[in-house]
Amino acid sequence: MSIQLTSAQLRFLRQRSQRLGPRDQLAPLPPDQVVRAVCAVQAQDAYAAVLSVWTRGAGLTSADVERARSVERSLVRTWCLRGTLHLLAAEDLGWMLALLGPFFAAAGRSRRLALGLDDETCARGLKLLRDVLGGAGPLLRPDIVDRLAGKGLALGGQAVPHLLAKAAFDGLICLGPDIKNKATYVLLEDWLGIQPPLPRLEALACLARRYLQAHGPAAPADLASWSGLPAGDVRAAWGVAAPELVEIDFEGSPLWMLKSQAGWMGEMPSSMKETAVRLLPAFDTYLLGYKRRDLVIADADFRRVNNGGGIIHPVALVDGRAAGTWRMVQKRGRLEVMIEPFGEFPAAALPGLEAEAADLGRFLGLAGEAKIEMAERG
């Protein structure tokens, strides 16, 4: 009979996988290794991606994360999982892009056609992108558009980001350093060099292994939801990785975790107390990394987190469960963190919440202590 887990125990194990347990127990890692530990961080909101590194790191600063991306180039921001922008460790880009890029490039073809980017125009656009970016250094999107127009390819509206995404999926470009908080684009081979792929089955097994390392216990449907890959690829990935997995039971359904992490089950406290607090930024993978979210947040509360427009708002976690949304305001070099709880905020979690806000202030290099105010929504 497989091991049976309660909801609290499953949250404990997933927090451990996600580096979201007690902050004083986190092993210090450089920014790229924090990202690598959770496989990838969604980065359509670049600032939220930086905060995802903060909440899983120990002693890092925002300058450390920026240095890793723009100077050391150990982090890279580009289109990847689910066909959207992610922050990845540069050492992982080659095999992940070779595995995921062709699928999402093909999946976006109908949308490109609707925008006037037929196959011939795309091929021409990619060639011109190489010419435009080659030797020019990082370029902002408007500069790229102007230079493409100067070479006879006039693009507007959504055609521009879709061409850039196709170029990224093809391994031609990635995002470079920001200029005044605006994204730039560079040739991938100039920025990071040649990124070696893995054989396809090996890459699929690596994806399943790395997903479970960062999100387990989980099921194949969770991997499919997180990666965006079709069911056949997910089954193949799970099958190749199967000898490394152990099956457990949650409410009558099977989940799997890595055998190398199975010892964590012996560390689960017998009594789950509301003490571990994390401030998750927008679009955090703890919410987006699974098919179902009810283990973390009730449907009614999720409607307050995702209230239209495709935005997943920042969430305050208490022992792995969403306790409210939050936002921050900088005033005269000080940080105010506003918490809007879903219900009564646990009193036992207040010290942890104050410590989180203070550490966020330290990460951002703000003077003074962070201020926390509680604000119930009407």
d(CA 3, CA 363): 40
Residue 162 contacts residue 114 (beta carbons within 8 Å): no
Half-sphere exposure for 302 (CA within 13 Å, toward CB): 13
Tokens of 253: 């359904």
- State residue 378's pLDDT score: 45
Q: Which residue has the tokens 């969770």?
A: 222
Half-sphere exposure for 260 (CA within 13 Å, toward CB): 10
User: Which residues have C-beta within 8 Å of that of residue 330, sequence separation ≥ 6?
Assistant: 336, 364, 366
- State residue 1's pLDDT score: 47
- State residue 371's pLDDT score: 62
Which residues, in sequence order, are bridge partners of residue 175? 77, 185
- State residue 308's pLDDT score: 73
- State residue 213's pLDDT score: 97
Phi, psi at residue 177, to the nearest 5°?
Answer: -70, 145
* Tally of CB atoms within 10 A around 182: 10
User: Which residues have C-beta within 8 Å of that of residue 24, sequence separation ≥ 6?
Assistant: none
- State residue 104's pLDDT score: 98
- State residue 368's pLDDT score: 52
- State residue 372's pLDDT score: 66
Q: How far is CA 44 from the centre of its chain?
A: 9
- Model pTM? 0.93
User: Which residues have C-beta within 8 Å of that of residue 267, sequence separation ≥ 6?
Assistant: 16
Residue ranges of the domains in the chain?
277-374
Question: DSSP code of 345?
Answer: P
Query: Which of 343, 339, 345 lies closest to 315, judged by CA?
Result: 339
Q: How many helices (H) and strands (E) does the chain have?
A: 16, 14
- State residue 362's pLDDT score: 93
Query: Which of 215, 209, 208, 218 lies closest to 5, judged by CA?
Result: 218
Instruction: Give Cα separations from 346 to 24, 302, 316 (angstroms).
Output: 20, 19, 12
Instruction: Give Cα separations from 123 to 126, 143, 293 (angstroms).
Output: 5, 20, 40
Query: Which of 269, 378, 188 lies closest to 22, judged by CA?
Result: 269
- E strands, 267-332, are 277-280, 315-318, 321-331
3-state secondary structure of 91: helix
Q: In the chain, which stretches have pLDDT less than 70?
A: 1, 270-274, 367-378
Instruction: Give Cα separations from 222 to 137, 144, 211, 234, 260 (angstroms).
Output: 39, 37, 9, 10, 20
Tell me the residue length of the chain. 378
pLDDT, tens digit (0-9, with 9 covering 90-100), for 105-147: 999 999 999 999 999 999 999 999 999 999 787 999 999 999 9
d(CA 89, CA 36): 6
Instruction: Give Cα separations from 245 to 92, 95, 211, 276, 357 (angstroms).
Output: 22, 22, 12, 28, 37
- State residue 265's pLDDT score: 85
d(CA 272, CA 268): 9
d(CA 365, CA 60): 11
* Tally of CB atoms within 10 A around 236: 16
